[in-house]
Amino acid sequence: MTEKRIDYPVATLEEYGYRETPAYVKKIIKVLKSVLTYLVIFFLYLSIIVIAIQSLNSSRVMSAFDHVSFQWYPNILNEPELMTAIKNTFLVSSIATVVATILGTFFAIGLYSLEKKRRQQWMLMNNVPILNADIVTGFSLMLMFRLLMPLFPNIFGLFTLVMAHLFFTIPYVILNVMPKLKETDPNLMDAALDLGVRPFKAMLKVLVPAIKAGIFAGMLMALTMSIDDFVISYFNTGAGFDNLSVWIYGVIGRRELTPSVYAFSTLLTLFTLVGLVLYETLKNNKKKGKLWLRK
Amino acid sequence: MNKLYRGLARPYQIWLIILVFIPLLAMVLISISNYNASLSLSEVQITFADWDLLFQHQTLVAFKNSLVYASLTTIISFVLGYFVAYQIKQSRIKNKFIILTIIILPMWSNLILRTEGLLNIMEENNILKSIIGFSLLGNIAGTPFAVLFGLVFTYMPFMILPIYTALEKIDISLEEASQDLGVTPFKTFWKVIFPLSLKGVVTGSIMVFLPTMAGFAIPKILSKGNIVLIGNIIDQKFLYTTFNDGSLLAVVILIVILGSLLIITRFDKEGETLL
Amino acid sequence: MVKKVKKILIVLAIALIATFLNACQTGPTLRLLNWGEYLNPEVVDLFEEEYGIRVIQSIADSNELFYSKIKSQTTAYDLVIPSDYMVEKMVDEDMLIELDYELLPNFDNVTYMDGVNQIYASMAATTLTRTGESVDYTDYAVPYFWGTFGIIYNNRVDGLEEALNENGWDVYFDSENYFPTASRGMYDVAQFAYAAALMYLGENPNDYNTTLLNDAKTAIEGANFSEWGTDTLKRNVESDNLDMAFVYTGDYLDRLYIQLDEGRTIDEIQSDFNIYIPETTMVFIDNMVIPYTATNLDAAHKFINFLLNPEIMALNGESVGYAVTTEEAYDIVVSHIDDEDAFYHNWAYANMTYYNKDREGTFYPLTALPNDDIDAINTMIQQIRTE
């Protein structure tokens, strides 16, 4: 082969209309971007910062800062009502979150495998618990649970509270898992099944890993909704099993909250943050596992 | 998806029928009756006598307020939340789930404590002012801006989370390919990335819009009781056991929103973006 | 997967055990439905020690929630502590059990405060819608705490204190003629606003008709309230963000005790902000009543009897800060006026100043208006707030 050199004019990027953004402009944009990001995160945490400041205030007067004091932190232990409420909250929310995440994932897979029209109808129903006014949901759940009372007279308490929390947390899990399911390649599951993998195993080994980001987001949201619910919890609890929100609302009706409540909120936030950072550092040190949710 | 898994939906369908459909039906029935707690069941009648409630001044204003605040909150949360979610995706931090937990963490503290904390620093004399000497947000307590601020920064995590989960799945090579082909970064984003993340945007918008539409605690506290939303009225009606009025308003909200969701699904060619 | 299933099973098992333990605590119990932080834990300890009855407390933040909680029958409460108008409503709907005074021997050794008797008399004046009869509410209720309402005010406004003492309600409601620039707050409970407006107009706050409703509306609009709040009102007056608000006297005392804790003196605090209690004012009384769901009547009576003991009632008042309801308990409280302990001295002083047993005046407890009237009042307030 002979090579014939042809002198075509070579177009530059500029001639295509491409213009290099000057380096300083890029830098400014970059800085602006991170400033805005941090600003948004700061505003997300603004109320938490105020709570933290209030928890460190030596004075119980919340509109002015006196001096730094840690007295409200050990004082949490001296508040038996607060302690009980905290314990109840943890118990209810952890059970509700775990169960809602597992069930919600299964349900979402089930709903996804329905025909499109059917699925849309059920997904509309799925939105009702999120949309309905809390007090309406709380009331109607209570009435439904009451129908069980002739069979189980002492049903109201932890059990009904967990059931009520499942009622409004499962929809959040489904809402988060569904978009992920739509992104999965349908051939993937078919392939697995054709290869003789049993359906349940295929679901756990093929499908669940593919949608785990959605599952995790759903779990986070379920926990978030559950840990701070007041109205629905109020109507569906019983036998003195009050969670933290019910207790807080009950106190501000007539009395003054102890600053130890602020201390607890701050601790919850701090512990989670520190825990996350520690986990991250430890994991990086070990250089094991690339993904958090690895099986 | 394989029909094999349809059975998994069955328990949830039963659960939804028992705990959503039946109460919903009951609510519709109650809304056309004169039912309240002090009536015995034999006195309950079907009546539309209380339906003029829907056209009373305060109901209309409350509906309008709810719609306006929910829409504005959703839009602002979308703009800021998308931006943050995109930044997180592009950041070099490996474990992004940690970032997401950090984003949603503020919501684990009690809503009343957080909202009253915000109210505190929106007042003229506040705890932050006593430390740093000036008012960070200015004296905005009781204004619509205060309410909007509170709503946006309370519910935004619900926007960031699903958008991020959608963005996270997008193959980075798509973006590179687009850039290699000489498409400007903005165009790449608009033509490639954004459409692919639309599902997250829709989920996020639903999750911000619905609770703001039906909620009432934040507007009540931050407006100092000067702005009434439909949630306030429903809450009050139920609290004072005027169940028929409360149900009527709740049913109307449900119909309006579920109806509009349904219509969007119908007209959407793909039919997949929403549900 | 198997591991995961195991984990889930373990969690569920723990939960079940916890429920089980919760339900199967041995020994008799007293299920109490109460406001938050409204019962001194020391009193609970003493009671449990003396009678061997465990107290299980549930918390609620409004009378309306008490009502729906009892009505729903989801928990068999033995004792509830609702306010005056809710007791009326509950009696009217046959939700309460009559007390057996044989089981309340301490009752013979105490005298209710004058104000308390006034409240019961005023309550008895309303007849039941069910039977048309009037009721002696002491058949059902024993007073727990009581208190007045007043106008908490900020002394940064010159002359406000004098004006209030001289012209009372007018200063608060007539914003055109008195202190047009001062900010005013109102409790976010429609019936409170309505009742306050009627007292300003010289009417009985428990009357209702459309003329009064319109007059009240005009009065409330005239006050030009900048804030409708609950627990935020007292804090905003304290922190110079609000000038006047209609609140529970107990709200003021809460702030007063907190500031005293900071080492300030009563004089200093009073010159910052204070509360004016009009001669004609609203009062409330929280009562111990036994709902029809009660399963342990014996424990309920024992608890009521226990709290009628003046020493115990005073002890309870020590941590709660509302006004005790018997003269004997009041005497114990004010006997601390010469106490060297600053807390006890201040406590006695505050009670003598703000809850004085010899205070003259007309006390109106709110009455249980018919549902339709309450609904009309709620709507009227919402109209004002959506204009």
Residue the block writes with tokens 């945490």:
A45
Is residue A177 a contact partner of residue A104, using CB atoms and an 8 Å limit?
Answer: yes
Contact: C188, B228; criterion CB under 8 Å: no
SS (H, E, C) A94-162: HHHHHHHHHHHHHHHHHHHCCCHHHHHHHHHHHHHHHHCCHHHHHHHHHHHHHCCCCCCCCCCCHHHHH
| Domain residue extents for chain B | 56-169+198-267
CA distance A101 to A173: 6
- Indicate which CATH number applies to the domain containing A218: 1.10.3720.10
C193-to-B86, C61, C154, C252 alpha-carbon distances in Å: 49, 19, 20, 18
- Say whether pLDDT at C183 is over 60: yes
Kindly state the average pLDDT of the residues C21-37.
77
Tell me: the pLDDT tens digits for A119-133? 888 888 888 888 787
Alpha helix segments (H runs only) across chain A: 23-56, 80-112, 116-131, 134-146, 158-183, 186-194, 199-202, 208-210, 212-227, 231-236, 244-252, 260-286
pLDDT of residue B176: 77
- Paired tokens of A106: 């299964």
CB-based burial label for A13 (10 Å; 0-12, 13-18, 19+):
exposed
Q: How far apart are CA C380 and CA C168, in angstroms?
A: 25
Strand partners, C31: C56
Query: What integer pLDDT is reported at residue C150 of this predicted model?
Result: 94
The region of weakest confidence among A65-69, A190-194, B39-43, B270-274 is B270-274
* Residues in contact with C308: Cβ distance below 8 Å, sequence separation at least 6, in sequence order: C104, C106, C107, C109, C110, C142, C326
**CA-CA distance, A219 to A204, in Å (whole number)?**
17
Is A228 part of a structural domain of the chain? yes
Q: Is the pLDDT of residue C337 over 50?
A: yes
In a domain, A37, yes or no: no
Is A293 part of a structural domain of the chain? no
Copy the structure tokens of residue C349: 């002083």
The predicted complex's ipTM stands at 0.86
CA-closest candidate to residue C30, choices C65, C91, C83, C76: C76
Mean pLDDT calculated for residue range A244-267: 87
Does any domain span residue A97? yes
Nearest to C377 by CA among C210, C128, C230, C221: C210
Residue A206 lies in a domain: yes
The CA distance from A66 to A53, in Å, is 11
Range list of H helices, B108-143: 111-122, 129-132
Tell if the CB–CB gap between A252 and C38 is shorter than 8 Å: no
- All residues of chain B having their beta carbon less than 8 Å from the beta carbon of residue A228 are 107-111
The per-residue pLDDT for C8 is: 55
A183 to chain C, minimum CA–CA distance in Å? 24
C324-C328-C333-C335 Cα dihedral, nearest 10 degrees: 160
Q: Which fold has domain B56-169+198-267?
A: MetI-like fold (1.10.3720)
Take residue B32 and report the two structure tokens written for it: 């056309």
Domains of chain C: 26-145+286-340 (3.40.190.10), 147-283+363-386 (3.40.190.10)
Q: What is the C-alpha to C-alpha distance for residues C359 and A158, in angstroms, rounded to an integer?
A: 48
Instruction: Indicate the pLDDT class of residue C3, thresholds 50, 70 and 90.
Output: low
Q: Is residue A286 part of a domain?
A: no
Strand C280-288 with C142-154, pairing: antiparallel
Measured between beta carbons, which residues in chain A are less than 8 angstroms from residue B100? Answer: 216-217, 220
pLDDT band with cut points at 50, 70 and 90 for residue C15: low
pLDDT at residue A292 above 80?
Answer: no
The secondary structure of B183-222 as a DSSP string is --HHHHIIIIIHHHTHHHHHHHHHHHHHHHHH--HHHHHH
- Name the region of A113 (left: φ>0; alpha: ψ -120 to 50; beta: rest): alpha
Q: Is residue A174 part of a domain?
A: yes
Q: Which chains touch A (3 or more CB pairs under 8 A)?
A: B, C
Of A98, A146, A162, the CB nearest to C74: A146
B261 CB neighbours in chain A (<8 A) are 124, 127
pLDDT for C107:
93
Among B194, B204, B184, B209, residue whose Cα is nearest residue B89: B194
Rounded CA gap, C289 and B89, in Å? 60
Q: Tell me which chain A residue has its CA closest to the CA of residue C188.
A: A253
Q: Is C30 helix (H, G, I), strand (E, B) or coil?
A: strand
Question: What total number of domains does chain A contain?
Answer: 1
pLDDT tens digits along B145-185 = 999 999 999 999 989 988 988 888 787 777 778 777 877 77
Task: Report residue C168: phi and psi, to 5°.
Answer: 55, -130
Structure tokens at C226: 């900048």
Q: Tell me if chain B has a CB within 8 Å of the CB of C222.
A: no
Pairs of residues, one from chain A and one from chain B, whose beta carbons lie less than 8 Å apart? 287
Question: How far, in Å, are A46, A51, A72, A245, C263 from residue A69 at the CA level?
Answer: 21, 14, 8, 25, 16
Range of the domain at A212: 80-257
Amino acid letter, C348? A
Q: Is the pLDDT of residue B61 over 50?
A: yes
Residues of chain B contacting residue A109, judged by C-beta atoms under 8 Å apart: 1, 5, 8
CA B63 to chain centroid, in Å, comes to 15
CB half-sphere exposure, A240, CA atoms < 13 A: 20
What DSSP assignment string belongs to C105-138?
GGGGG--B-HHHHHHHHHHHTSBPTTTS-B--GG
Q: How far is CA A162 from the centre of its chain?
A: 17
